[in-house]
Amino acid sequence: MSNPLLTILAGCFLITVGLQAASAATEGESPRQLQERTTWPCPLPPDTLDPAALLDLRYLNEEQAGMHGFVSVDAEGGFRRGDGEPLRFWSTVVKWQTKDPAEMDRLAGWLAKRGVNLVRLHPRIWTREVKQFGQIDRQEHDHVRQMVAALKNHGIYTQLLLYSAMDGQGLHDRVEGVPVGREVRSPLQTGILFLHEGLQEFLKEWTTALLTEPNPHTGLPLAEDPAVALIEIQNEDSLLFHTVRNLQGEDLRLAQSLYGQWLAQRYGSLEQALTAWGGARAEGDDLAEGRAGFYHLWDLTRAGMAHHRPSAAARRRMADQTQWYTETMRNFNKEFITFLREECGVRVPTIPGNWRTADDVTLIENERYSYAVGEVIAANRYFTGVHAGSRTHYWVSQDDHFAPAAIVLEPERLPINVRQFKGKAFAVPETMWVEPNTYQSEGALAIAAYQSLTGVDIVHWYHQRGDDWHTPATWRPGYGKFSANTPMIQGLWPAAALLFRQGYLQQARPVLIERRSLQALWQREEPVIAEQAVFDPNRDISDEARASGFEGPVDPLAFMVGPVLVDYSEDPQPSELIDLTPYIDRDGRIVRARTGEIALDYGLGLLRVEAPKVQAAAGFLGRAGRQEFADVTIDSGNEFASVIIIAMDDRPLRESARVLVQVGTRQEPTGWDVEEAEFTTRDQTVQGFKIVDVGGPPWQIERADVRVRVANPSLRTAHVLDINGMPVATVPLDRDTDSVTFRFPVDALYVVLE
């Protein structure tokens, strides 16, 4: 069965999907000749961080991160500096393992220049140096402390992740005292952290040493350093995800015993619990030993419930199992936060977790309710098309198949379309427009615009590879899927970071506040609106995320009208929903923001942003034709592009003395070649492409075909900048009494008008 939307993406826009698509080539023209005619090789010289750069956003950061005191979350769920001023973050993830302080300093300066003021550090609790359970890797601790110091000196805060079960890979032969599951990518990715006191105690020992010992590079322990803005407890593990099935042997018996104790306390005994369930049994029940078995997690999902049609008694048992899973994680999070506060002296907000569930329609609020003992709710959410091949976890290879995707055509899949908890901050610790994807240039603008609208506080781009630009790999045939520091991702951060951090767009009032009871959580009742499925590289292998298939009473495009909030209590008040009719036009395929500053035509594939200090368009501009705004006109012959015109001096465009014009098109490796192909994945037939040649460095960027008018006659000079923000040329301005007009260079990303 084919997916109609994928057919549209890969069929109607075949010419736009790969610059070397066979359908685009003129007769007798090779893919390489076509590439040379339509693209420019993007030079990526090392950034010397020259102060003469005309595009350097370091000035947005504090002189030192934390100089005004510790970061906090206010009653509305927004971040504040220590002096009470609002604080907005533009962020990336750093897993780069350099030990050189000079390289760390250079990386920090490089990121600050591009608008970054928060980095999510991802140290590894288990490294090659750790030979046995309980051993602390002091070198890893020092690496973290050095990096925090380097970032701090460039005004960049740190979000510090403490534990990732995924880092337990390879521990089968050297973990002592912690049960190890089988047939799982990580021996610890089973939810065992929430159950096993030995593992919890080791994590506390590791954390205590990391946070309380003085940092020789600053003189302050990390717990006392205001440059550490957030503490993230654990990454990508849950009792509500399918990996819980990997609890085996002693792991499983431990879980069953703890569940049995909880039931005995709740009902008086396991026998009385069984009576309350009408005798409903589950595999693993051993009342004499005090153990209660579990239903398979799939049985608790909508699909499982529809398949088995459980009795009312079985449903009661399922509700108890759901509640125990949720409260077990919540209690762990609550206890660990108490430990952080009382034993380590941590004063900053905490992020307990960031994961998904086996059914995000009916279980995701249980997951996030377990996080709600902290100040920040979080979820890792990626965006991608279809990618099928042999090594598609992290790699793009020859003979892979793919079909691209664009948010301007599929708005319901925007990664920050999330149900936010009332009174809590919301963070996305990992996101990316994942390769191979022709339409990456829409990403930075879409995130910055809708973050501003909905109040999603942090989005971390995943991830930073090294202290400079990343190119397609030369050492084996292929290139990585998750490199943020490429021209069409990080190269387009400056205007987007400026837009978001300076608050150039308004945050809307909530469009929905859904109030629900805790019983609705345990019974896994469907909400009125659900998030759409998102891609995960480690679980959605060689494919896109599975669609949720949920159609609730509230249109999912509500996420793009304004904030969607949820609130839980024992006795909830009625929910509140505005009339969405003025904002969502399903027939016309248009959704408008409640503020009036953002409009998305997802039939045409066009995102428009209009406010006094920023005006922008992204998507299929060649088809959309001229874009006219209050102060700007954009004409583009590029089939797909992103164009942002933004004031750099916090003044309206009509009055600004310094305006950035940023243009992104499409990137691909040199020598990249694809051919149209039909392929099958997950029983779906997809019209897409086969990769004939992955090519190599440098990146080739589609030539810009853009003409811009700005209604500001005071602008006199148009400086063309290289990819590091250095002026390299000027272009002529055509002037009249009320505006200036110019043709954007074919081989640049930035022009600064002064």
Q: What is the pLDDT of residue 178?
A: 53
Q: What's the pLDDT score for residue 170?
A: 52
**Cα 263 to Cα 327: distance, rounded to the nearest angstrom:** 12
Contact predicate 713/733, CB 8 Å: no
Residue 543 — very low, low, confident or very high, per pLDDT cuts 50/70/90?
low
Q: Is the pLDDT of residue 324 over 70?
A: yes
Nearest to 554, CA basis, from 513, 589, 521, 522: 513
How does residue 89 score in pLDDT terms, banded at 50, 70 and 90? very high
Return the higher-pLDDT residue of 2 and 437.
Answer: 437
Which two structure tokens, joined as six digits, stand for 47? 């950034």
Q: How far apart are CA 564 and CA 602, in angstroms?
A: 20
pLDDT value at position 536? 67
Query: Which phi and psi angles does 204 have, rounded to 5°?
Result: -65, -40
pLDDT for position 165: 81
For the segment 298-303, the average pLDDT, to the nearest whole number, is: 96
- Is residue 440's pLDDT more than 90? yes
pLDDT of residue 8: 37
Indicate if the pLDDT at residue 544 is higher than 90.
no
Q: Which amino acid is at 199?
A: L
Confidence of residue 27 (pLDDT cuts 50, 70, 90): low
pLDDT for res 538: 58
Domains and CATH numbers, the chain: 57-244+322-503 (3.20.20.80), 251-320 (no CATH)
Q: Is residue 515 scored above 60 in pLDDT?
A: yes
**Is the backbone peptide bond immediately before 436 cis, with ω within 30 degrees of 0?**
yes
Binned at pLDDT 50, 70 and 90, residue 15 comes out as: very low
Given a cut of 60, is residue 695 above it in pLDDT? yes
Residue 138 to residue 147: CA distance in whole angstroms: 14
pLDDT in tens, 92-135: 999 877 889 999 999 999 999 999 999 999 888 777 666 666 67
Q: Please report, rounded to a whole number, the percentage of residues in the chain having pLDDT higher than 70.
A: 90
Say how far residue 91 (Cα) sits from the centre of its chain: 10
- Residue whose pair of structure tokens reads 């009509």 in the numeric block: 654
> What are the tens digits of pLDDT across the range 274-291?
999 999 999 999 999 999
For position 451, what pLDDT does the model report? 98
- Mean pLDDT over 716-728 rounds to 98
Above 90 in pLDDT, residue 153? yes
**pLDDT of 744 above 80:** yes
Least confident of 48-62, 216-230, 463-477: 463-477
| Residues near 331 by beta carbon (within 8 Å), at least 6 away in sequence | none
Tens-digit pLDDT profile for residues 403-435 = 999 999 999 999 999 999 999 999 999 999 999
On whether the CB atoms of residues 256 and 308 are closer than 8 A, the answer is: no
Return the SS3 of 513: strand
For residue 228, pLDDT over 70 is answered with: yes
Q: How confident is the model at residue 28 (pLDDT cuts 50, 70, 90)?
A: low
pLDDT at 351 over 50: yes
Pairing of strands 659-664, 750-753: antiparallel
Distances (CA, A) of 153 to 54, 79, 460, 463: 21, 21, 20, 21
Q: Which pLDDT score is estimated for 270?
A: 97
Q: What is the mean pLDDT of residues 598-627?
A: 98
Cα separation, 42 vs 669, in Å, equals 10
Is the pLDDT score of 184 beyond 70? Answer: no
Residue with tokens 């664009």: 406
- Sheet-wide strand order for 727-731: 584-585, 590-592, 598-601, 606-611, 614-619, 641-647, 659-664, 750-753, 718-721, 727-731
Examine the pLDDT at 16 and tell me if it is beyond 90. no
Which of 640, 700, 615, 645 lies closest to 442 in space, CA to CA?
A: 640
How confident is the model over 550-596, as pLDDT tens digits?
Answer: 899 999 999 999 999 999 988 899 999 999 999 999 999 999 999 99
The answer on pLDDT for 191 being more than 60 is yes
* Per-residue model confidence as pLDDT tens digits over 462-513: 999 888 899 998 777 788 899 999 999 999 999 999 999 999 999 999 999 9
**495/721 Cα distance (integer angstroms):** 14
